Structure 1
Amino acid sequence: MPAADIAATPGALAAFFQLHDAGRVPALLPIRYHRMQADALAFFRGSAPLYYARFGAAPALAGGPVGWLCGDAHIENFGSYRGDNRLVYFDLNDFDEAVLGPLSWDVGRLLVSVRLAAAHFGLPPAAQQTHAETLLAAYAAALATGKAYLLERATAWGLVRQLLHNVQQRRPRELLAGRASRHGGWHFRAHKSAALRPLPPAEALAVLRAVESWRLAQPQPPCGPLLDVAGRIAGVGSLGVPRYALLAKSRHAGKLPRLLDLKLALPAAPAPFCPVPQPAWPTEAARVVAAQGYLQAVCPALLQPLELGGRPFVLRALQPVADKLDFSNFTQDAAGFEAALPDFGHLLAWAHLRAAGHRGAAGPDALQAFGQGVGAWRAAVLGFAAQAQAVVAADYAAFALACQEGVLPTAAR
């Protein structure tokens, strides 16, 4: 649906989301829309397809080198996790919308989210602009070095250090607590968890059989036999997309079970608007996994594509939503948020540099020159972020009204 056909009215916004969300789990859509009502930032998180329909052709974002994009770069898509080497990292951690496109697309979307987050803290427009400038300067400076680095746990501080510490200190028993019980044999407590839902027996059996078949086909299975499966309720943008939590035996006797995440991979929201041809992928899951490998410093454990009933899923070790930034539950003040902005700019630049040269992406020299440039692109993307924020705010107001009037169903959870 082109942007010109989407008015910022309750009816038009409701029609857009009803069309886009067709095929998702109906029972989860009221939860999705409820979460999106929280504020304009939550709405922004949950409406990437609308964002690209609005701004996929924005001239301010058309320049600069082409590279691999997160596709959904926003301030709450950073988080801590345990990598496949068992060490803890803080990085971009959502690649469902990853595509090959202008780097300015990622930068522009991230800057819009910075302005929305600053507004969430009650900061005036001048401060929102300053925060956007701070992040953009950090991004350009990191890109200008031409070298990708890691955000080290030893030198991190503030909210990033807090999230890294949480993952580092968490033990497997804490991860299982509230999700699973060993009474009568290990199983999920889906009826008592807000993050899990029980599945119809036929669906649960199909998931268990498919994943068990995959596990047995591995030369060295990464886990023992599957014990249980439940529907997973997580996030905002992808909430309602078929997603499962899996409980599997450890490969080692006497060890606690492992938690896995299995999520359907849908076509990327930016793809219809990309000005460059996209590589051919066997499945959408293969795209997500490959792009994550390009962009992320170290990938989470078990990351790989998997087919279930002929549909593409991404399998990975389960990462709790508590390990992602979430400003609706943010415990620090606006100063803590401001202090972390350079980290976010650096992380996005390092991701782009890591992916340089892969399958159609510009090489590191082009990215370095882009970062070193002091031309009009920086002013253009900053101006775009301010204008887009106003459009997002108007869309959010119309969406919230559609929910209040009952055009879109909502339910707290």
Structure 2
Amino acid sequence: MAVVARSTVVKKASSKNFPAPDQRAPLLAELRRHKMARTAYDYVRGGARRFYAWLDSQPPGALPDGPPVWICGDCHLGNLGPVADAAGHVAVQIRDLDQCVIGNPVHDLLRLGLSLATAARSADLPGVITSCMAEALIDGYQQAFDDTRSNETKRAQRPAVVQVAMKRALHQSWRKLGRQTIDGAAPYIPLGKRFWPLSEEEAQAVRSLFAPQSDLAMAEVLGPATTGDAKIEVLDAAFWVKGCSSLGRRRYAVLLDIDRECSAGGPPCLVDIKEAATAAAPAHAGAPMPRDNAKRVAEGARHVTPRLGDRMRAARLNGAAVVIRQLMPQDLKFDADRLTEADAVKAAHFLALVIGQAHAQQMDASTRKAWLGDLQASWPKSIKAPSWLWRSMVELTVANEAEYLEHCRRYAVDRRGDQVR
């Protein structure tokens, strides 16, 4: 497997002053603060650590303690969406596993509940909708573990917010992906707000990942069509200013030409290299997880979202643990702005079912049955949602709103101070 690098990997961006690698951190931190100040929902996206701080404050026995399985760990609305396998087949699954650990599956359900409740508030939906969403959440989640409802699961209807995303995913092409992600169909990455140039050291490290002597199995990352004899040409690479909670970590976009397919008019291969950090989600005591954060993310992805995990591999880049993932045109996230009153409850049920299936596929039949029994036994049948779920959603939503407003206040004060200075 040969590797070639074009001169575009390191650009001399004379038209704009881009930060050097050692100058990026404060700029990215400020951008993260700005993103989290936009809406309460955006604040939730970047608040995984605060979510788990709240969980840690709960007394023992306040929440069900489910069987230890790999969980998403940051199960908010933006981390679910259409995901394609290597063959391009699409299904709605978890699409971001940075926080995945072997832990309590209830944590994913609560994080999704907080995300949906906050999205409903941001969309100015009435409180009764949030109450109905709580009922739909627990019903959809339990459905994944109930073998008697298998036919119901097969007939599960996708709500409008899911249908829109799926329609976009199924019609997405590499050329469209180029326009939306790379801002052009040409095999280069234009520098700007989202992409910054690499230093020579970074560019060399990226090229080394795809070199023949690399320990990384490119055939596993780039698909079965990529054999050991494949020629991989690094077309371009850039620092990727992307995400919310991950802003501040190293992240790179890389364009590859596999066996000159791109030179012949085909699409380039887009690869995402993302630094893996320590998870905020608490792991089950004694859980057999890799100590290396990148290996933990890749291993968790293979259990929670196999069609995504099969496209991810752990590696080292300049001493940092990174996850390398081939991006597919169909990989999209849900748009919380599309949540409507008529669709919110259906979305809660459907997405809870998706989370439940991700957990259930890791359990044997007896474990699934026992976990379903624990869930059903924890609340009376006279109400449609357990008190622990409703109480948690309310407390988390209230706490998030207060923290969000305080974040906005500090952000506004700091901006005024900068303007005065």
| Same fold, judged at TM 0.5 (above) | yes
Distance (Å, rounded) in 2 between the aligned partners of 1:96 and 1:23? 24
Q: What is the CA deviation profile of residues 260-304 of structure 1, one whole-angstrom value per residue up to 9, with x for unaligned ones?
A: 101011111113xx4523324151111111111111152266311
Find 1:262's aligned residue among 269, 273, 288: 273
Say which of 304, 317, 330 aligns to 1:308: 317
SS at match of 2:307: coil
1:375 equivalent in alignment to 2:379: yes
Instruction: Answer yes or no: is 1:290 the counterpart of 2:299.
Output: yes
Give the residue type in structure 1 aligned to 2:371: L
| Alignment deviations for residues 293-349 of structure 1 (CA, whole Å, 9 cap, x no partner) | 11115226631111112221111122579820132xx34633233332211110010
Counterpart of 1:41 in structure 2 is: 41
2:144 match: secondary structure: helix
SS in structure 2 at match of 1:259: strand
Check conservation: 2:102, 2:289, Cα contact below 8 A: no
Mapped pair 1:393 → 2:401 = yes
Secondary structure of the 1:190 match is: coil
- Aligned pair partner of 2:361 in 342, 354, 369: 354
What is the identity, as a one-letter code, of the residue corresponding to 2:404? Answer: Y
1:171 aligned residue (170, 173, 176): 173
| Distance change >3 Å, CA 408–CA 399, structure 1 → 2 | farther
| Match runs of 1:89-128 below 5 Å | 89-128=91-130
Q: How does 1:66-215 map to 2 (within 5 A)?
A: 66-145=68-147, 156=158, 158-177=160-179, 179=182, 186-191=187-192, 194-212=193-211, 213-214=213-214
Task: Please tell me whether the aligned partners of residues 144 and 369 of structure 1 are also in contact (alpha carbons under 8 angstroms).
Answer: no
The one-letter code of the counterpart of 2:280 is A
Write the distance in 2 (CA, Å) between the matches of 1:79 and 1:242: 24
Distance apart, 1:49 and its partner CA: 1.1
Tell which structure's C-alpha radius of gyration is larger: 2
The question of whether the paired residues in 2 share the 8 Å contact of 1:180 and 1:187 is answered with no
**Matched-pair contact (CA < 8 Å) for 1:196–1:231:** yes
What percent of counterpart residues are identical?
25
Letter paired with 2:89: L
Offset of 1:350 from its aligned partner?
Answer: 0.2
Partners of 2:36 and 2:43 within 8 A in 1: yes
| Count of residue correspondences | 378
Q: Provide closer, same or farther for how the CA distance between residues 119 and 216 of structure 1 changes in structure 2, counting only shifts above 3 A.
A: closer
* CA deviation vs aligned residue, 1:374-399 (integer Å, no higher than 9, x gap): 53793212211111111111111111
Give the corresponding residue for 2:56.
56
1:299 aligns with 2:308: yes
Query: How far off its partner does 1:125 sit?
Result: 2.6
Q: Which runs of 5+ in 2 are unaligned?
A: 1-21, 220-226
Task: Note the alpha carbon deviations across 1:170-214, whole angstroms, 9 max, x for none.
Answer: 22122122616677xx321123xx432222232222222233353
Give 1:62 shift.
5.1
SS where residue 248 of structure 2 aligns? Answer: coil
Give the Cα–Cα distance (whole angstroms) in 2 for the partners of residues 153 and 166 of structure 1: 22
1:405 partner SS: helix
Distance 2:150 2:281 in 1: 25
Question: In the superposition, relative to structure 1, how do residues 218 and 43 fare at CA in structure 2: closer, same or farther (>3 Å)?
Answer: closer
Structure 1 stretches of 5 or more lacking a match?
1-21
Distance 2:95 2:308 in 1: 9
Deviation at 1:129, TM superposition (A): 1.8
Distance 2:257 2:393 in 1: 47
| Aligned pair partner of 2:241 in 202, 208, 233 | 233
Asked if structure 1 preserves the Cα contact closer than 8 Å seen for 2:210 and 2:232, the reply is no
Distance 2:27 2:417 in 1: 10
Tell me the C-alpha RMSD between the 2 structures.
3.4
Residue type of the alignment partner of 1:266: A
Structure 1 Cα separation of the partners of residues 121 and 47 of structure 2:
18
Q: Which residue in the other structure is 2:7 paired with?
A: none
SS in structure 1 of the partner of residue 236 of structure 2: strand
Distance across 2 between alignment mates of 1:23 and 1:353:
45
Q: Classify 1:158/1:202 alpha carbon distance in 2 versus 1 (closer, same or farther; 3 Å).
A: same
Shift of 1:36: 0.6
Alpha-carbon distance between aligned partners in 1 of 2:281 and 2:274, rounded to the nearest angstrom: 19
Give the TM-score taking structure 1 as reference length: 0.81
Length-normalised TM-score, structure 2: 0.80
